[in-house]
Chains A and B, each alone.
Chain A
Amino acid sequence: SYVLTQPPSVSVAPGQTARITCGGNNVGGVSVHWYQQKPGQAPVLVVYGDSDRPSGIPERFSGSKSGNTATLTISRVEAGDEADYYCQVWDISSIHPVVFGGGTTLTVL
């Protein structure tokens, strides 16, 4: 089945840029969505369709893709950005059409 690989953790100082990657076979051929989840809360969509932002999400959050790797970039990181981040794709050809990555914990130093 489809597997999305994320680094378990990323650490960054306040004001710096965090980059979280999501890799997998054929990521280049499908749309990637990104979610932020803080402890005890439901996930929140922060990027959809590889690089679009829902209303209300700061411009500091951006998405991109190169080949089979998608990247969530958080610029000017703030303490409030500390959370788990998950990528997700929809692959109708897969036996599991909705797949989430294993998640990346962003720590703000």
Chain B
Amino acid sequence: QVQLQQSGPGLVKPSQTLSLTCAISGDSVSSNSAAWNWIRQSPSRGLEWLGRTFYRSKWLNDYALSVKSRIIINPDTSKNQFSLHLSSVTPEDTAVYYCGRGRMAGSGDALDIWGQGTMVTVSS
């Protein structure tokens, strides 16, 4: 079955870049029928979608407006994984970060597979 395995540091200093990786098994990052998402969750913001990367004859990205100036999500086809890079972090970026697979369901993607989550704290 499809599984997503997250990795990355749990502590990031303010103003630095938060980087997380999500390794895919049982599916391909280059799939034409899936999208690869990052979502975060905090008590103050709840569940917040950050963005996605997906392949439809070429690589495409969508990002949430709230982080658009600071975020990059990119695929690594050689390792069948995708990564999140969030720059200039502040304590407000402290959250549990999840990766997730999106599959089209009706008018928009449902997130049918999730990674295990990574608690990231932004602190000096």
Contacts and interface: CB of A to CB of B under 8 A. Distances in A.
Interface of A: 29-31, 33, 35, 41-45, 48-50, 52, 54, 86, 88-92, 95-100, 102-103
Interface in B84-124: 98, 105-112, 114-117
Contacts of A30: 106-108
B48 interface: yes
Contacts of B117: 41-42
B100 to A, nearest CB: 8
Contact of A42 (B49, B64, B110, B114): B114
A29 to B, nearest CB: 8
Given A42-B98, A95-B65, A96-B66, A90 B108 contact: yes
Nearest to A42: B114
Interface in B41-95: 46-49, 62, 64-66
A100 B48 CA distance: 7
A97 B62 contact: yes
Interface in B14-62: 37, 46-49, 62
B81 to A, nearest CB: 17
B108 A89 contact: yes
Contacts of B107: 29-31, 90
B114 A49 contact: no
B106 A42 contact: no
Contacts of B112: 45, 48, 54
B98 A49 contact: no
19 contacts: A31-B105, A35-B111, A42-B98, A42-B114, A42-B115, A44-B114, A48-B106, A50-B106, A52-B105, A86-B47, A88-B47, A88-B111, A92-B108, A97-B62, A97-B108, A98-B37, A98-B108, A100-B46, A100-B49
Contacts of A95: 65
